[in-house]
Amino acid sequence: MTGRGIGAVGGTFAVAVGMVLAGASAACARDVSVAVAANFTAPAREIATAFERATGDHVVLSVGATGQIYQQIVQGAPFEVFLSADADRPRRLVAEGRAAPGAPVAYAFGRLVLYSPRPGLVDDRGAVLARGAFAHLAIADPAVAPYGQAAVEVLKHRGVYDSLALRLVKGESIGQAYTFVSTGAAELGFVALSQVSDVPGGSRWTPPQTDYSPIEQDAVVTAAGKANPSAARFLGFLQGPAARAIIARYGYGIR
């Protein structure tokens, strides 16, 4: 986990954010296009609603896997703000000149959970992974989704990856991985804690964070958003108390 706090915006961009927020009430309302990692869908919707009420701006959300969104931005997709499920892709965009200058914002730290709608299937120590009393285990595709990478790390840490490799059902995003589990296509799966924080029943195990690398989720204004004051307003709002309260309520870590 890096030492950058949730409010750490680098250099001249931090000044720009403050100036834009200070003048938000006088600014003309605008649309802002926000691409968000699938794990953050529910809190992003709430934050977008709160932002719209506070500023009058309108948020257009697009949801997908982090790696896919990154590739779309590289290929010219006009997303103006990117809420990633990792820290790597936003940093790449800055280094490549495809984002506003300054350090990306660490807006949340994700938590992984092994979940099943079936009561009693998942025990409180994750021993079900070693027992193998299931046919399919859903995870997000580790090639494009940080939560999928974390799931693989947990399986390897527990020494069961090789034995379970043929039972893995990979979703394009953590959203699809959750769909596999919730519809019964897989009996259990590794999903984001935020996806099941309000889901009653079932059974779940939260792996110790020592089992996988910290899931630092960073946000950045893209090159397409540099000319839109609403993009900077949204990034500033994401770091404020209203957004932070929503993020914490969904089980994410914040600083």
How is residue 173 written in tokens?
A: 């995003």
With 50 as the cut, is the pLDDT of residue 78 above it?
yes
Q: Is the pLDDT of residue 123 over 60?
A: yes
Is residue 40 one of the residues assigned to a domain?
yes
Is pLDDT of 30 > 60? yes
Task: Assess whether 30 and 42 both reside in one domain.
Answer: yes
Residue 3 lies in a domain: no
Region 177-184: mean pLDDT is 97
* Confidence (pLDDT) at 22: 41
39 in a domain, yes or no?
Answer: yes
User: 172 with 223, same domain?
Assistant: no
**Average of per-residue pLDDT across 174-184:** 96
pLDDT value at 40 more than 50: yes
The answer to whether position 254 is within a domain reads no
Mark whether 187 and 234 lie in a shared domain. no
CB neighbour list of residue 75: distance below 8 Å, 6 or more residues apart: none
194: in domain:
yes
Q: CATH number for the domain including 29?
A: 3.40.190.10
Examine residue 235 and state whether it is found in any structural domain, yes or no.
yes
**Could you tell me if 172 and 239 lie in one domain?**
no
102 and 117: one domain? no
Q: What is the mean pLDDT of residues 49-76?
A: 97
Asked if residue 14 has pLDDT above 90, the reply is: no
Is there a single domain that holds both residue 16 and residue 92?
Answer: yes
- Shared domain for 23 and 96, answered yes or no, is yes
In which domain, by residue range, is 138 found? 112-205
Matching residue, tokens 């919730």: 182
More confident position, 19 or 169: 169
CB neighbour list of residue 225: distance below 8 Å, 6 or more residues apart: 32, 33, 79, 80, 81, 100, 231, 232
Per the domain annotation, does 255 fall within a domain?
A: no
DSSP string, the chain: --S--TT---HHHHHHHHHHHHTGGGSPP-EEEEEEEGGGHHHHHHHHHHHHHHH--EEEEEEE-HHHHHHHHHTT---SEEE-SSSHHHHHHHHTT-B-SSPPEEEEEE-EEEEESSTTTS-TT-THHHHT--S-EEEE-TTT-HHHHHHHHHHHHTT-HHHHGGGEEEESSHHHHHHHHHTTSSSEEEEEHHHHTT--SSEEE---GGGS--EEEEEEEBGGGTT-HHHHHHHHHHTSHHHHHHHHHTT-B--
Q: Which two tokens stand for residue 13?
A: 């961009």
Residue 1 has pLDDT above 80, yes or no: no
Q: How many domains is the chain built from?
A: 2
- Residue 105 falls inside a structural domain: yes
pTM equals 0.82
Selection from 249, 250, 248, 111 nearest residue 190 by Cα: 111
At residue 62, does pLDDT exceed 80? yes
Name the band, by pLDDT with cuts 50, 70 and 90, for residue 28. Answer: low
Confidence of residue 29 (pLDDT cuts 50, 70, 90): confident
Residues 164 and 182 in one domain: yes
Same domain assignment for residues 103 and 120: no
Mean pLDDT, all residues of the chain? 90
* Same domain? 28 vs 153: no
What's the whole-number mean pLDDT along residues 110-116?
A: 97
